[in-house]
Amino acid sequence: MVEYFHRGVACHLIGFDLAVPIDVELLRSGEGEVAAAMRLLERVFAAHPRLFDAVVADGLYLEAPFVNFCLAHKKHVVTTLKGDHRLLFQDAQGLFADMDSGLWNDPDRTVRFWDAEGFTSCEAIHVPLRVLHTEETLHKRRRIAGEWIERNETQSWWWATTLGAHRLPTRYLWKTAHARWDIENDHFNVLATHWHLNHCFKHTPSAILNFILTLFIAFLLVQTFYLRNLKPPRRHHFTLIAITRQLYAALAATPLHAPWVALSGAKPP
C-alpha cells in the first residue's frame, strides 16, 4: 500500500495557559526538518522580534548551523541532549560523576539535578554550552481493581542550552525544557484529535497552509473565549472541546443556541 503525507514544522509559544501556535512551514521535496525550521524562524524572527528570547526544540536541532543561526538573531537555544552528540554527552557524564547533585521536591516528584556550563565539545557552535541533567522520581497514585496503588517512576533527562545560569536559573531551565512537550500535547495531539489537523482537505501547498493557519486562528480564538471570557462557574459545566462543538453546531442552528449563556439566566440571543 502506498501512502502519501505532508510534513511540516510549527512554531508554538510555550509558558502560557493558552496554547499559542504562531506559524507553520511545509518541508520541501527532499528537505530536512531543520532546514524548514530555519526558514520558518527567519519569518517569525522578522515578524515578532521581541516576542520571545529562546527557541526550545528537540535534540535533532542541536547542530551548529541551527544554533548559530538563532544566536545570529539574538535568540538562545534549549534542546534535548541525546547520545547522538557523543563527545558532549561523555564530557557532561564525566563531569557530573564527580559533582554532588542538587535536590528539590515538588508535590508530584523529587528532582536530583546536575547543572554545569562551559562545554566546548561542539566546536562548530560559536558559544560554550550549558548542560542540565535531572533524575526525577515521580510519585504516582492510581486506582486499580478498586484499590489505590502508590508507586514511584524514575526518569532521566538531559538538556543543552546556550543560556547561562545567570540568565536562567536551574529550576526555570528545567521548567522551560519540559514545556517543550506543550507542542506535542496542546498543539499536535489536540488539533489532530479534535480539530482535524491530520486531515488534508486539498493536496496543494497553498491550500494546506491556508487551512492550517486558519485552524490556528480558530483554535486560539476559541481558547481565548473559553479562558478569558467565560467565568469559572461556566467553565465548570463545559470543557473547551464541548464549547468548540457547541460553536460548530451553532453554525447550522436557527435560532442560535448558546447553553453557556442560558446557564447564567440570560436568554440566548
pLDDT in tens, the chain (269 residues): 766 678 899 999 998 888 999 999 999 988 999 999 999 999 999 999 999 999 999 999 999 999 999 999 999 999 999 888 889 999 999 999 999 999 999 888 999 999 999 999 998 999 999 999 999 998 877 777 777 777 888 999 999 999 999 999 999 999 999 998 877 777 788 888 888 888 888 888 899 999 999 999 999 999 999 999 988 888 888 888 888 888 877 776 666 566 655 555 544 44
pTM for the full model? 0.84
Query: What is the distance in angstroms between the CA of the first residue and the CA of the last residue of the chain?
Result: 51
Helices (H), the chain: 33-47, 64-72, 86-97, 170-178, 182, 190-194, 205-224, 232-237, 240-250, 259-262
Beta bridge partners of 78: 56, 161
Locate 194 and state its grid cell: 479534535
Four-residue CA torsion sign, 158, 163, 169, 171: negative
CA torsion sign for 12, 177, 76, 56 is negative
